[in-house]
Amino acid sequence: MKNLSIYLFVVFLGILSACNSLENVDVETVDTTEQITRSASDFEPAVCYGLEEYNNLLKSFEPSPIPSGAPLIYPTYYGGAYVKDTKLVILIAGNPELYREEFVKRCGSENILLEKCGYSYVSLLAQTDKIHEYVMNGNIDGIVGFGIKEDKNMIEIRLKDLNEKTVKELQTKTRSSNMFFFTQGEEIKTEQTSVNSGIEIRNPMGYTSTLGYRVMYNGKKCQTLAGHSFNVGDYVYLPSSLYGICVDKEFYGSVDAAIVEVYSTYEPTNNISYTGMTVSPSVQAVPVGGYVNLYGKTSGNLYGTVTNTNFAGYVENQFMNDIVEVNYTSNSSPGDSGGLVYSSNGFTNYTTGTHIGRLPNTNYSYYTKFQNIQNVFGATRY
């Protein structure tokens, strides 16, 4: 893994200085106007409709008693969920009217729509498991990504070279061609950048990314970083002082994240730099069709629409799964890796995930679900 340094004045959840610290006085007074390429102070977070209903729905699928990180248990008639206009739409493999009362209770709201679909979510997941197995075993070449498109009730498979031979081979092996549709794609690229000028946190490799959420890890105050940016033992520097040390990392499976243990002279907060906004420690998932917001070192604030909540594909030659795809209104940029992905109901900004990278030549970007970060590291937001 490449070692990276991080701009502190990019996205860090505000670092408050300890009293009488000359190091922190320097940090606070440095001009940062060259560091953000898009205005942040006048940014209004995009509101995600159906956010409360969707998270209530997911919680209703949790096994009871709840083992930590246990997979959700979906009813066989549930087909997925997505946001359309201002309402959460729930797909039913059967007669929707038979299940409306149940899902009103699960969502805790009457403000939902039920629609009929062809495939249950369980059957779609079973097919993605098969594809995952084929990819990992090298049985099918050319697949760069795949995932359930809940608004279509189908599985999208992305091929490096979209050709009839690969399509037929996959359809034959899975025997479920009607569930699939195929598109051309590429591997996801992480978004780290070399240091040129301005305020930076240095390491020998001279790369930057974005400092993320504050967390408690093994009883200590820490913050998240991009897993592809740091190795355990790497020092994290402010412009003129040492900020902390990387104590854990993961760049595999469903998580691209690392943990920096913050030195005692600094106090992480839940404030987002330059915005006047804070992010609640409460973790919320966002459905397909819902809005999320990204704050990255280079891009400042962006917003976009979730298009896939369980995407799997290659990130810099590393296969990842259960990550989220977002179509942002503007491209994320080099240096945004590790940035805060958060959701809003118009009153509260919720912790949602951390930025991984972007599909080249597109507005599609990807993030790690924060729930997966909690499950892997045992870290908690505070």
What pLDDT digit, counting tens, does each position of 22-46 carry?
A: 233 333 322 222 344 444 456 789 9
pTM of this structure: 0.81
Tell me, rounded to whole angstroms, the distance of Cα 13 from its chain centroid. 17
CA separation for the pair 240, 121 (Å, rounded): 52
> What gap in Å lies between CA 54 and CA 120, rounded to an integer?
17
How many Cβ atoms sit within 10 Å of the Cβ of residue 102?
Answer: 16
CATH topology (fold) of 125-184:
GMP Synthetase; Chain A, domain 3 (3.30.300)
Q: In the chain, which residues have pLDDT < 50? A: 1-40, 193-202, 204
Tokens matching residue 107: 């969502």
Q: What is the C-alpha end-to-end distance of the chain, expressed in Å?
A: 29
CA distance 372 to 324: 11
Share the mean pLDDT of the chain: 83
Give the residue from 113, 107, 119 showing the smallest Cα distance to 79: 119
How far apart are the C-alpha atoms of 284 and 352, rounded to whole Å? Answer: 5
Domain extents for the chain? Answer: 15-48+188-381, 52-116, 125-184
Each residue of 260-306: pLDDT tens digit?
A: 999 988 888 898 877 888 999 999 999 999 999 999 888 889 999 99
Q: What is the CATH number of domain 15-48+188-381?
A: 2.40.10.10
User: In angstroms, rounded to a whole number, what is the distance separating the alpha carbons of residues 337 and 254?
Assistant: 15
Residue 176, Cα to own-chain centre: how many angstroms? Answer: 29
